[in-house]
Amino acid sequence: MSFNRRAVLLSATALIAARAHSQAAPARILVGAPAGGSTDTLARALAQELGRLLGKVVVVENRPGAGGNIAAEAVAKAAPDGNTLLMSFTSHAINASLYPSLPFDPVKDFTPLTCVATSPSMLVAHPSVAAKDVRELIALAKAKPGKLNFAIGAVGSSLHMAGDLFKMQSGAYIVNIPYRGTAPAIQDVIAGQVELMFAAVGNAQAHIKAGKLKALGVTSAKRLAAFPDVPAIAEVLPGYESSAWFGLFGPARMNADVSKRISDAARQAIATPDMRRRVEAEGSVAVGNSPEEFAKFVQLEVTRWAKVVKFSGAKPE
């Protein structure tokens, strides 16, 4: 056997062995949020289905902190072999302008695989607020500038930006009151310590049905089937829309076959009845779009939220 032929055979054998190792090695989905939240819950549901479809173990690893940047940086710097993935959320796009410098590029350093789900939120108020809808709230806020307050669970979060987008489009001056988490923020609105907040549907719906909060509007482009009597904010502020989203990414430079295999499996997983039930239980809407569609969406989100971040003057905590 000639040297060249032996070299080719050895190279081919090594490639086959590497692929076999990649398929057998456990895959990780890093989540830049604590266990128990929507991002974590969706990641765990997806990991279970992905493992079944890919024929390998897929585990979830929580690396919370810095608005998701810690997990994102780890994935951006990981080997592009498909074994380290990121379940990220809206802050992935917001952070591009919120943070003065990042150790990664939110677009160039990742391979978008699919958007898993979107989650509209609701503008809610304490029942004592003298406004029954968005139009009346804007009039009230303009009549008493700086007298109304928004509770925000985290600076730079999608719910924070939903409020500042509302202020930017309405011209109303409402003061932000930051909290360390959604739970204490929503409790203070229920208690009447703060008048208003934007809250995820899943977090607000039980309090609305119990009469502890008043729903003024939804952030989706159209009314929600679960709350047909609550108008979309866009009915008063045309073009207003602010839904949180959850997406699956890999590192940049992934092999096209590997990224397609994972994306196809993820989209198939999202389409299963069990996964859709889990998504709906979080107050979200399953998506499962193509990598090309998701990539375009992320780029548009980065541009879109940069304008709102600038308006808000928000700084990372």
% helix, strand, coil for the chain, step of 5: 45, 20, 35
The pLDDT assigned to 54 comes to: 95
| Whole-structure pTM value | 0.85
| 95, 98, 103, 107: CA torsion to nearest 10 | 40
- State how far the alpha carbon of 78 is from the alpha carbons of 74, 85, 105, 143, in Å: 6, 9, 14, 53
Residue 180 neighbours by CB distance under 10 Å: 11
CA dist 51 and 47 (Å) reads 6
pLDDT in tens, 99-121: 989 999 999 999 999 999 999 99
Please, which residues bridge with residue 115 across strands?
Answer: 247
pLDDT at 3 over 50: no
Q: How does residue 19 score in pLDDT terms, banded at 50, 70 and 90? A: low
CA dist 74 and 80 (Å) reads 12
CA dist 137 and 170 (Å) reads 10
Query: Domain locations in the chain?
Result: 3-119+244-312, 120-235
Instruction: Map residue 86 onto helix, strand or coil.
Output: strand
CATH value of 120-235 in 1.20.1510.10, 3.40.140.10, 3.40.190.10, 3.30.200.20: 3.40.190.10
Question: Is 120-235 the same fold as 3-119+244-312?
Answer: yes
The pLDDT assigned to 39 comes to: 92
Token pair for residue 202? 């899943």
The pLDDT assigned to 18 comes to: 46
- Which amino acid would we find at residue 159? L
| Residue 221 CB burial class (10 angstroms; 0-12, 13-18, ≥19) | middle
Length of the chain: 317
Find, among 132, 134, 136, 72, the residue nearest to 107 by Cα.
Answer: 72
Report whether 250 contacts 262 (CB < 8 A). yes
CA dist 234 and 304 (Å) reads 17
CA dist 213 and 125 (Å) reads 6
Q: How does residue 154 score in pLDDT terms, banded at 50, 70 and 90? A: confident
Instruction: Map residue 62 onto helix, strand or coil.
Output: strand
Report whether 39 contacts 284 (CB < 8 A). no
Provide the CATH number for the domain formed by 3-119+244-312 in this structure: 3.40.190.150
pLDDT in tens, 29-73: 999 998 888 899 999 999 999 999 999 999 999 999 998 999 999
Find, among 152, 125, 153, 154, the residue nearest to 140 by Cα.
Answer: 125
